[in-house]
Amino acid sequence: MPSTEPPQFHAPAGLIIGWRDGEVVRASGIRYARAERFKPCVAEPPSVTPILATAPAPACPQVADPRLALAFGDFYTDAIFDEDCLRLSVTVPAERQPAEFLPVLLWVHGGSYVTGAGDVPLYDPAALVSEQRVVVVAVTYRLGLLGFLGSEGGTPPNLGLLDLLEALRWVQRNIAACGGNPNLVTLLGHSSGADAIAHLMVSEGAAGLFRRVIMHSAPLGLARNRQPMIQAMAAAIGTFPATASIDEVLARETAVNKAVRRFGLKSGMPFGTQYGAFPLPAESEIEQAWEAVAPQVDVLIGATAEETRFFAAIDPKFHWLRRLSFVGTLLSRLLVRVTSGMIYLKPAEAFAQRHARAGGRAYHFLMLFQPAGDTFGAAHTVDLPLLLGTQASWGATPLLAHANWDPIHQAGQQVRTLWADFARTGVLPAQVQIPGVLRLKRE
């Protein structure tokens, strides 16, 4: 008979009290650090009282983007927003044996560095955890103006990246107590989360914190030559008192959108990591830095076949193309092909090839999966339901267009098996073809 007692993890962080949820055990909303506004975070000391880990991590305060509802519906179901958001959640198979230490996947959510949270229902890792017998850690970190904009002599840049490093240190100290193997930590990220992972690979202090990385749809084509835009953003935001309310902070963040319009494609993700600011090397040294770490980190990187079709579908400024009938369809396809290649597809393949040349193990994938309906196709984010979430969380989203969940689940099982095998061993077949779902090759 299953125990009715709440699960407990005796960790260096303190006694963590979690909760049972069907085939998994969860410990949610655990504090890994604290931070004053616009300052680097400080690791959370061990707790002398039990840590009640039964509520989701709060999301970082953020400017609402109504366009997201056109793809995800109510993305933030029951979410709480709080600057005190440096929390993580651990999900473990319910039947794990006491002496069993499983591979760990640390989930870094996307959202252009301005939206998202680790514990939203769409990112529920229960299927991945129970089916593949892995441990998943979901991290919430600072976003936007709070986490990814700074300047010399002012607010330190890369605060959100420092948050992620501190979360990784927490994992190294504590994950064995939760059933995870600290020597088998794989970073799993999507979009800006994948971009952050690419830069964690070359961050000072990151060595030894993880063994492998899986990067979905990293917008690496937007990472370079950002300094003029960053300066324009800083000028648009200006200065404000430390006592400013969070609403005042977010209002300044909104001002950035107007200031960056003249910077073309980069304006689609104005916030992000900054080279030459701790913990990152200078931009002129980044290629050499990635080459230097290649032998120590296994890489699985790729993108969807029609990445930017997502933005064409949700952004009103592209809707005029639909009114041009056949010509509009052709123009839209051309625009999607060119921008997807520039921002996501070509940089991902180049990243894998460089990694392999430098002596690392690298796999490159292309996601072909597309849901029912003709709006999104194989667009940005359509691969997420193959890894995370449930029918209950994804089934009613416009992104999946009420598609039958069974084929999505079956395709997801194949992808989840490959990804978990990579997390366990770092080794996949030299070539994989899953018709209509995935193409993968070793570089």
The closest of 23, 75, 46, 321 to 170, measured between CA atoms, is: 46
Helix (H) or strand (E) holding 132: helix 126-132
User: In terms of residues, how long is the chain?
Assistant: 443
Q: What tokens does 10 get? A: 């005796």
Which of 89, 355, 380, 443 is labelled catalytic?
380
Query: Strand, helix or coil at 357?
Result: helix
What gap in Å lies between CA 22 and CA 25, rounded to an integer? Answer: 8
- Count of C-beta atoms within a 10 Å radius of residue 332: 18
Distances (CA, A) of 363 to 88, 181, 439, 440: 28, 23, 11, 7
User: Which one of the listed residues 307, 332, 340, 364 is annotated catalytic?
Assistant: 307
Q: Whole-angstrom Cα distance, residue 288 to residue 296?
A: 14
Q: Distance between CA atoms of 222 and 215, rounded to whole angstroms?
A: 15
Active site residue 191: yes
The pairing of strands 362-367 and 87-93 is unpaired
Residue from 46, 45, 134 nearest 90 by CA: 134
Can you tell me the distance from the alpha carbon of 25 to that of 420, in angstroms, rounded to the nearest whole number? Answer: 19
Q: Are 237 and 253 in contact (CB under 8 A)?
A: yes
Q: Kindly give the pairing relationship between strand 362-367 and strand 438-442.
A: antiparallel
**The one catalytic residue among 191, 203, 332, 393:** 191
> Do 87 and 13 touch, CB atoms closer than 8 A?
no
The whole-angstrom separation of Cα 133 and Cα 339 is: 37
Q: By the 8 A CB rule, do 279 and 204 touch?
A: yes
Handedness of CA 393, 397, 400, 403 (dihedral sign): positive
Active site residue 89: no
Smallest CA-to-CA distance from 365 within 443, 285, 250, 287 is with 443
Nearest to 44 by CA among 153, 212, 206, 163: 163
Distance CA 18, CA 32 (A): 16
> Does residue 166 have an active-site annotation?
no
- Give the catalytic positions in this structure: 191, 307, 380
